[in-house]
Chains A and B, each alone.
Chain A
């Protein structure tokens, strides 16, 4: 009996058992994946729409916004090193607004990701921060959920602003000679968001017609312009 338990036999046996366990639990994971897939896709979509609804009033367009998408290549003006997505809102077939992603590379603690909507008449309809690492309690007022000013969160001052009201050269925080407020002692976060918003607005306005005209689902090569 002892002779049967050679080294080769033992390793084969343990390897087989390991294999059985791996197959068993991979199957369990695959089953859970299939079970949760529809719900995960639905909640990711809902999360995206919730965010877009914050920057663009749902009544201002009537197309299937998320399907009218343009893929962007790496776009330095928007701070998108890896590229991103741009959604086009239309009302009765006419251009209504552009919803775009942007990044501020110069936050106090790393990059600040933004989503903003620019209406067809050239105004910012809203800006929201989607992810940031600013200091809790100090720089995180850029997220309206953390802003102490609940009636008029800091980031809402961009709503309605356009180059017809705010000159491109004045699109800065007050401390840099611009028109936008920034809380004392935490100007860096405000400056990063303000400048990134201004850059994104300028970028979108400069090629507004081309952005609305491009075929849905196509990829815009923005790097070589």
Chain B
């Protein structure tokens, strides 16, 4: 896999086809778990792990998977690998497992996982599929981190609450002081829609501005991914 392809995968996953902002796939966990930054990033990292593993497994086995029954086999592979990640979380990150609860098994039904397997891993080699899974997942992680951070900060005035479940000894940052009354709607489900809407608007605005600048000062096509 050459550098050019790696950069293309990274650019697609992290920005251009970002799962949370552009493809709008897998919104259920995004909206449900982004009540705090630690929760959001943890579920995001679990999803990255699953996507990389699933893409690697499917790309390696793609020559043995008959086209007609590829979807059941993909779902089987995804479900098995998610179960393994779920067991690993339960065993070694128990505190976090209790918080994420049902959302780890639900990664199975996150359509972004199946979407990347079908759209990418089924047609590409193992290495670039793994990179694609990683990058698509990381694109989700930064959106989740931002969304969780905004909601946590507005809702309860803290950042990184619950970090002690991952790194014992660390504690949350109280940004607005103890008497911050909390902006409840940010933590409730509607707050997730509002915050995500604002993020998507910002994403589109940045893209449009980059496109306008690109029209004003046309550059050679090969350098396009560097913009924005």
Contacts and interface: CB of A to CB of B under 8 A. Distances in A.
A36 B89 CA distance: 9
A18 B35 contact: no
Contacts of B175: none
A44 interface: yes
A137 B84 contact: no
B91 A39 contact: yes
Contacts of B169: none
B130 interface: no
Contacts of B69: 14, 17-18
Interface size class, chain A: 20 to 34
Contact of A17 (B66, B87, B98): B66
A138 interface: yes
B99 to A, nearest CB: 11
Contact of A136 (B90, B94, B187): B187
A40 B182 CA distance: 36
A39 B80 CA distance: 20
Contacts of A135: 184, 188
A203 interface: no
B220 interface: no
Contacts of A43: 90-91, 94
A176 interface: no
B184 A136 contact: yes
Interface string B74-110: 0011001101100110111010001000000000000
A82 interface: no
A5 interface: no
A26 B79 CA distance: 10
Nearest to B98: A47
A22 B92 contact: no
B156 A137 contact: yes
Given A47-B94, A137-B182, A137-B187, A17 B84 contact: no
B35 A32 contact: no
A29 B88 CA distance: 11
B178 A44 contact: no
Interface string A131-155: 0000111100000000010000000
Contacts of A36: 87-88, 90-92
A136 B35 contact: yes
A32 B84 contact: yes
Contacts of A148: 178
A8 interface: no
A17 B68 CA distance: 11
B20 interface: no
Interface of A: 13-14, 17-18, 21-22, 25-26, 28-29, 32-33, 36-37, 39-40, 43-44, 46-47, 135-138, 148
Nearest 7 pairs of A and B residues by beta carbon: A39-B91, A25-B80, A43-B94, A36-B91, A32-B84, A36-B87, A137-B182
Given A22-B76, A36-B90, A46-B94, 10 more contacts: A14-B66, A17-B73, A25-B77, A26-B80, A28-B80, A36-B91, A36-B92, A37-B91, A136-B188, A137-B184
Interface of B: 35, 64-66, 68-69, 72-73, 76-77, 80-81, 83-84, 87-88, 90-92, 94, 98, 155-156, 178, 182, 184, 187-188
21 contacts: A13-B66, A17-B64, A17-B65, A17-B66, A21-B76, A26-B80, A28-B84, A29-B84, A32-B87, A36-B90, A36-B91, A37-B91, A39-B91, A39-B92, A44-B94, A47-B94, A47-B98, A136-B155, A137-B182, A137-B184, A148-B178
